[in-house]
Structure formats: structure tokens, C-alpha cells
Amino acid sequence: MRKKNQTTFEGSRVDPIIDKYNAEQGSLISILQDIQAEYRYLPREALEHVARRLNIPVVQAFGVATFFRAFTLEPRGRQLIHVCMGTACHVRGSQNVLEEVERKLEIKAGGTTPDGEYTLETVNCVGACALGPVVIRNEEYLSHMTPTKVSGLLKKV
């Protein structure tokens, strides 16, 4: 149940983004991308604010935010770890790599560490199969990963 939504969203970080796109309805996706870059996720109040300013239904902003996997409505960690689970990486042992990361961070794929440092996600092939198993840490591609290698990359939580 929603608490009667009286939260005044302090739009100061969002408004400049919306202004940059002249509050055009057609720029919804770009606006959401920028907000996601700013907050590392899409806060509910931000979505509501965007909908209000673009004069679109809130549910439309919500629909777009849930349509693309790049958007998330849950806060993400400061560091984003993607483990590739595509076929090529899989046969080279990405399952073990993933399990090691899960053990080390004490979260499951899709989860975020309680201290908000790491978010762990899986992807299915990033097009770098020859380098597999691939782990992507904050857009940095790490090749030929093994459980030992990957373990050394992560701070202990």
C-alpha cells in the first residue's frame, strides 16, 4: 500500500536533466538514462516528477522503466559486476566464477551488498567470447576470469 504520496521530490538534480531535453515527450528514454546515470537507479519520485513535467501518465514512465533491462527501480551498488553466462563463457567455467563472486560478496546474482558497494548481475554474452569467461566491472572488461582471479578483484565486504 502506498503511503499517501506527500513526499515533495526535491527535483533539483532531475530538473536540469529534463530541461536539457526541453521536457520533450520523445526524449523520455534519454532523460531516464541520464537520471539513472545520476542516481544509479530510477527513484520512484524521480519517475513521477518526470511524468508530471513531460505531461505523460506516470504509468507510461513506469512501463518504459520496466521494459528495458538497463533501467532499474532498485538502488544499485556503487560498483556493478556483470558475469557473462553466455554459452562460450559457460563452457569455459563462468559458473564457477559466478559462484565465487556470490560467495565472496555474500549475495546472489541480481542482489546488492548491504553496504551498497556491489551489485551483481549476469548477462548472456557480451560479444567477447574469445576472452571468456568475461566479467565486467563498471564497464571494464576483464578477460579469462577464474575464481581465484575474480576473488582478488573484489574488496572483502
Partner 1 sequence: MSEKNRSRGEMVTFMLNGARVQADPGSSLLEAIRFYGLDIPTLCYDEGLTPYGACRLCVVEVGSGKREKLVASCVHPVREGLEVRTHSNRVLKTRKMILELLIARCPGSKKLQDMASELELKEIKFRPLNDDCILCGLCVRMCEEQMAARAIGFAGRGRDRYITTPFDMTSEECRKCGACMYICPACELRCQGTGAETVLCSGCINTEPVCASRYDDAMCFMVPCLSCVRTPEDVK
Among 29, 109, 125, 136, binds ligand FES (CB under 6 A): 125
Q: Which stretch binds partner 1 (CB under 8 A): 43-51, 96-104, 121-129, 142-150?
A: 43-51
The helix or strand, by DSSP H or E, that contains position 137, with its residue range, turns out to be: strand 135-137
Among the listed residues 72, 44, 55, the one whose alpha carbon sits nearest the alpha carbon of residue 18: 55
Nearest-angstrom CA–CA distance, 128 and 117: 26
The reply on whether position 7 binds ligand FES by CB under 6 A is no
Task: Measure the CA angle with vertex 105, ends 100 and 110; round to 5°.
Answer: 90
**Beta carbon of residue 134, minimum distance to ligand FES (angstroms, whole number):** 5
The reply on whether position 149 binds partner 1 by CB under 8 A is no
Among the listed residues 81, 60, 63, 72, the one whose alpha carbon sits nearest the alpha carbon of residue 136: 81
Q: Which stretch binds partner 1 (CB under 8 A): 40-48, 106-114, 131-139, 140-148?
A: 40-48
Q: Which stretch binds ligand FES (CB under 6 A): 13-21, 28-36, 122-130, 146-154?
A: 122-130
User: Considering just the CA atoms, what is the radius of gyration of the chain in Å?
Assistant: 18
Q: Binding residues for ligand FES, per CB under 6 A?
A: 84, 86-89, 125-129, 132, 134
